[in-house]
Amino acid sequence: MARLVLFFFGPPGSGKGTQSANLSQQLGLPAISTGNLLRQHYQSIGEHNAAMNEGQLVSDDLINKLLVERLNQPDAQSGFILDGYPRNKTQFDYFYNNIINPDDKICAIEISVSDQEVQHRIAGRRFCPKCGAGYHLTYKPSLQADRCDDCQTRLEQRPDDSPETIQERLALYRRTMGPLVVSWWQLGELIIINGEKNIDSVYHDILSVLQERGLVPPKSEIV
Ligand SMILES: [Zn+2]
């Protein structure tokens, strides 16, 4: 059976998770995050793996194995959306050598956001250490400056969201994804979407390009 295979990728804060979830719902295809597969795996064997958040330190063999198991599930037989995979050339080559079928329809969608915009989006995130509520200085400000609306606790910034850490995460992203972007471009499977518009516009753009390429039915036919 010909499957629709969509890869979603973008820098931290690009909103690719939201976009792939929306598309998943509209197309009736599972959105599969290898990060979630790993979390479930470690929970099932009762092991907390500190390396997990580092991504690149988790063995490619394990990720590939978990992905193959997931893709064998009945809901993935007509297609699937991958969020966060492949993350390096080893995973990319494994996928193209072992998972792709000749008649699969493939598209890699990059949600493109400038480094400056990523910095702005992530550096503005705040959270309440007591109740866990999330805020953003620009997009979702608390009523009182740096106090939680619900419990008045002083808001904090996650260490991962500091400008220095974001810079490192961005550099890692560009370095590891660069070669994959080139490969997808050479295969004619790359679509670059401007991720700096609002969520609805970005979604509309993604859908339009997929329709233009004949990968999903025209809008009127989508339930
Ligand atoms: Zn709170």
Domains, the chain: 4-221 (3.40.50.300)
Distance, in Å, from the CA atom of 211 to the CA atom of 91, rounded to the nearest integer, reads: 28
Question: Residues of the chain with pLDDT > 70: what percent?
Answer: 93
Q: What are phi and psi of 172, to 5 degrees?
A: -65, -45
Ligand 1 centroid – CA 153 distance (Å)? 5
Residue 222 pLDDT > 80: no
Give CA angle at 158 (128, 167), nearest 5°: 150
Neighbours of ion ligand 1 (CB under 5 A): 128, 130-131, 133, 148, 150-151, 153
Ligand 1 centroid – CA 145 distance (Å)? 13
**For the chain, how far is it from start to end, CA to CA, in angstroms?**
21
pTM as predicted: 0.85
Distance, in Å, from the CA atom of 128 to the CA atom of 27, rounded to the nearest integer, reads: 36
Structure confidence at residue 48 as a pLDDT band (50, 70, 90): low
Q: Which residues of 107-120 are buried (b: 16+ CB within 10 A; e: fewer)?
A: bbbbbbbeeeebeb
Ligand 1 centroid – CA 122 distance (Å)? 19
Ligand 1 centroid – CA 127 distance (Å)? 8
Residue 152 token pair: 């008045």
Report the pLDDT value the prediction gives residue 7, as an integer from 0 to 100: 97
Active site residues: 16, 87, 125, 158, 169
